Amino acid sequence: MLAKPCTVARALSALLILMCVEVSFAQDADQAASDGRALFTANQCWQCHGYEGQGGAAVRIAPTLYPFEAFARLVRHTNLMPAYSPNVLSDEKLRQIYEYVRSVPEPPALEDIPELSGD
């Protein structure tokens, strides 16, 4: 049975709304990530974790699989890194940094880097 035209129109508009929500959500996430990158730089996270969060003096943090709560706990209460209290880094800013760290794409696979897969 064919769907009634009004049903199709309704479904289409619902899809459109959903897509818009998704697009604006993605835009928000992009914005948060780019704000986060600025905060990542300003708060000097890169000093120990590298500009791409790839690690260095401290562990790799990007791309991260941690939920935000675990990430925040490590920043505020860890034994190793200097503890960043909410007085110097609010939850909101920390979340933006988290969004950036999450947005860092996976690097190429080992097989695609001849210098690492050659010997």
Partner 1 sequence: MTTKNKSAGVNRRQFLSGATAGVAAAALTNPAAAQQGSSQAGAQLAAVTPPSAAAEAMEYDVPEGYSAEEAREYFVRHPGSDFMVDVIKDLELPFITTNPGSSFRGLHESIVNYGGNSKPELLTCPHEEQAIAMAHGYAKVAGGKPIGVLVHGTVGLQHASMAMYNAWCDRVPMVVLGGNHFDATERRSGVEWSHSAQDAARVVRDFTKWDDAPLSLQHFSESMARAYKIATTPPMGPVVVIIDGHLQEAEMGSQAPTIPGVAPTVPPRGGAAALEEAARWLVEAENPVIVVDLMAHDQDGVERLIELAEALQAPVVNQAGRMNFPNTHYLSQGSGVVAQADVILGLELYDTWGLLNTLRDRVHRDEQRIARPDARVIDIGVKDLFIKSNYQSFQRYHASDLSIAGDAQETLPSLTEEVRQQMSRARRASNSEREQRWRAAHAQTRARDLDAARYGWGASPVSTARLYMELWQLVKDRDWALVSNDSLQSRWARRLWTIDRHYQHIGRAGGAGLGYGAPSAVGAALAHRAHGRLAINVQRDGDLMYVPGILWTAAHHEIPLLSVTHNNRGYHQEFMHLQRMAARRQRGIDGSSRVGNELDHPAIDFAKVAAGMGVWSEGPITDPNDLRPALIRALDVVDQGEPALVDVICQPR
Binding site for partner 1 (CB under 8 A): 42-44, 46-48, 50-57, 60, 62, 79, 82-85, 87-89, 107-110, 113, 115-119
Cβ at position 2, least distance to partner 1 in Å: 51
Nearest alpha-carbon partner for 89 in 37, 36, 43:
43
Region label for 95, one of left (φ > 0), alpha (ψ between -120 and 50) or beta (otherwise): alpha
CB contact set of 78 (below 8 Å; sequence gap of 6+): none
Q: 46 or 68: whose CB is closer to partner 1?
A: 46
If the CB atoms of residues 13 and 107 are measured against partner 1, the closer one turns out to be 107
Looking at the Cβ atoms of 9 and 42, the one nearer to partner 1 is 42
User: Quick one: which H or E segment has residue 14?
Assistant: helix 5-42
At closest approach, how far in Å is the CB of 60 from partner 1? Answer: 6
Can you read off the two tokens belonging to residue 104?
Answer: 């860092």
Least gap, CB of 94 to partner 1 (angstroms):
13
